[in-house]
Amino acid sequence: MPSSSSLPWISPLQFLKNPSQKPDLPTETTFTIVEARRKSKYISHDSAINLIKRERDPQRALEIFNKASDQRGFNHNNATYATILDKLAQFKKFQAIDAVLYQMTYETCRFHEGIFLNLMKHFSKSFLHERVLEMFYAIQTIVREKPSLKAISTCLNLLVESNQVDLARTFLVNAKMNLNLEPNTCIFNILVKYHCKKGDIKCAFQVVEEMKKSETSYPNLITYSTLMDGLCECGKLKEAVDVFEEMVSKDQIMPDALTYNVLINGFVRGGKVDRANKIIEFMKKNGCKPNVFNYSALMKGFCKEGRLEEAIDAFTEMKSIGLKPDTVGYTTLIDSFCKSERTDEAMDLLQEMKEKGCRADVVAFNVILGGLCREGRVEEALGMLYTLPYEGFSLNKASYRVVLNCLCREGDLGKALELLHLMLGRGFVPHFATSNEVLVRLCEDGKVADAATVLFGLVEMGFKPEPDTWSVLVDVVCRERKLLPAFVLLDELWK
């Protein structure tokens, strides 16, 4: 809140601060290359590959790579280049990758396109989709051969999976013009998935018809499963069933549990869980044993419609035929138990997960924390927050927020303050609305010192209080004639 005066705000605290010097950090010593030299005077290709793979520092790995090439009579080959590029890609050292690729253009050894397929996957994971295409086009430059159908399908699939529709379209046009692309079944399937992702089911069907006319490919189980999934996503459940029947009756392709799951999920999303249940019965009658994913999807549908007892029956049946429920199945039931104020049964399921070796995730814990708070069992929720990290389970900001909001609603500022300190100590900042509410309530309750302590802890973690919160804090501090805390607050406000 700087004034209109030309004089800047100067905090009295500036005259009390002493600059502190941080001690120099100890420097790390590299032993890897020294040890290699002691063991062997000459680093072979296999030794270089093993040293690079074991090295955790990408810069040191690059030093090993360069040291090996300094040896008389040593020339890098496809394997050593593939190893160093993979290591650099793992650590996202993309400039170093460019330098190594540039060096490869002057090598005389024979390279394989697998190097570039691997780099394409790394760039896709880093959302560098243009670089995926660059790696594809580098194959012809460095490998000195046309990319194979595997390279084409890998590049296309990465672009489609990343929803890069425009890049995928450009890539396909170039592949047809410059590489005389003759799609195989794999590439046709990717094209079907490409059109389904766009929601263009008509074009997806056209691709399937083209596959049937081709001499080198024909629709398979993946083709039909992808097409059915696209139809279900668009809410065209009847058409999806028609495709299923055509697949079985005309093309004599027998579905597997994953194909059935497409229909089960489609009916669940469409609010037709009874139809999904009939799919399960149909599977059993036709010799296809339902798997965990089929039952989990069915349970989700029952819970979504509030039919908890039927979800429990499906859960029990799944276990009775020897299937081991996964985290999703357990969490689905735990959520429904908590929403139905049956938190004790949810806790029993959590214990069962532990006994069966199925590790609960943070979603399951947050659901139970919310259930305990809704039933007024805040002490139990607090106990979980304190102990779970020591048992090796990870919590997130939402875990603490659920309980903190409950404490604020109940007006238990003492426990709210303790929980806030615990959060900050573990590196979590509560939601800004909750933080402001806690600060204001502490001031209204006369706990100004606590409010100031909490405030500075929050500010250090990047929290920005609302102007009204600042106003309340400064006003209360000034009314109590505590000038130093007021200067502290104003100093933070100026920053």
Q: For residue range 138-176, what is the model confidence (pLDDT) as tens digits?
A: 999 999 999 999 999 999 999 999 989 889 888 988 888
Average pLDDT (199-215) is: 91
Average pLDDT (23-46) is: 57
pLDDT exceeds cutoff 50 at 392: yes
pLDDT exceeds cutoff 90 at 488: no
Q: What is the pLDDT of residue 254?
A: 93
C-alpha span between 404 and 315 (Å, rounded): 33
pLDDT tens digit sequence for 351-361: 999 999 999 99
Mean pLDDT of all residues belonging to the chain: 85
C-alpha span between 447 and 92 (Å, rounded): 49
Average pLDDT (464-482) is: 59
Maximum C-alpha span of the chain: 90
Of 445 and 400, which is predicted with more confidence? Answer: 400
Q: What is the 3-state secondary structure (H, E, C) of the chain?
A: CCCCCCCCCCCHHHHCCCCCCCCCCCCCCCCHHHHHHHHCCCCCHHHHHHHHHHCCCHHHHHHHHHHHHCCCCCCCCHHHHHHHHHHHHHCCCHHHHHHHHHHHCCCCCCCCCHHHHHHHHHHHHCCCHHHHHHHHHHHHHHHCCCCCHHHHHHHHHHHHHCCCHHHHHHHHHHHHHHCCCCCCHHHHHHHHHHHHHHCCHHHHHHHHHHHHHCCCCCCCHHHHHHHHHHHHHCCCHHHHHHHHHHHHHCCCCCCCHHHHHHHHHHHHHCCCHHHHHHHHHHHHHCCCCCCHHHHHHHHHHHHHCCCHHHHHHHHHHHHHCCCCCCHHHHHHHHHHHHHCCCHHHHHHHHHHHHHHCCCCCHHHHHHHHHHHHHCCCHHHHHHHHHHHHHHCCCCCHHHHHHHHHHHHHHCCHHHHHHHHHHHHHCCCCCCHHHHHHHHHHHHHCCCHHHHHHHHHHHHHCCCCCCHHHHHHHHHHHHHCCCHHHHHHHHHHHHC
pLDDT tens digit sequence for 361-383: 999 999 999 999 999 999 999 99
Q: Do 467 and 483 contact (CB within 8 A), yes or no?
A: no
Q: What is the pLDDT of residue 15?
A: 36
pLDDT exceeds cutoff 60 at 183: yes
Average pLDDT (86-113) is: 94
Domain locations in the chain as residue ranges = 324-428, 439-494
Q: What is the pLDDT of residue 297?
A: 96
Token readout for 237 is 């459940």
100: confidence class by pLDDT, cuts 50, 70, 90: very high
Q: What is the pLDDT of residue 452?
A: 67
Residue 212: closest CA among 200, 202, 224: 224
Q: What is the pLDDT of residue 495?
A: 52
Of 33 and 83, which is predicted with more confidence? Answer: 83
Q: What is the pLDDT of residue 460?
A: 65
Average pLDDT (118-131) is: 96
pTM comes to 0.71
Q: What is the pLDDT of residue 19?
A: 45
472: confidence class by pLDDT, cuts 50, 70, 90: low
Q: Do 253 and 227 contact (CB within 8 A), yes or no?
A: no
pLDDT exceeds cutoff 50 at 348: yes
404: confidence class by pLDDT, cuts 50, 70, 90: confident
pLDDT exceeds cutoff 90 at 423: no
C-alpha span between 193 and 211 (Å, rounded): 14
Q: What is the pLDDT of residue 7?
A: 40
Q: What is the pLDDT of residue 209?
A: 92
Average pLDDT (392-399) is: 89
CATH number of 324-428: 1.25.40.10
Q: Which amino acid is at 235?
A: G
Q: Do 184 and 219 contact (CB within 8 A), yes or no?
A: no
Average pLDDT (11-20) is: 41
Based on the number of CB atoms within 10 Å of its own CB, is 309 exposed (0-12), middle (13-18) or buried (19 or more)?
A: exposed
Q: At which residue do the structure tokens 């048992």 appear?
A: 391
Q: Do 115 and 85 contact (CB within 8 A), yes or no?
A: yes
Average pLDDT (81-108) is: 95
Average pLDDT (28-43) is: 55
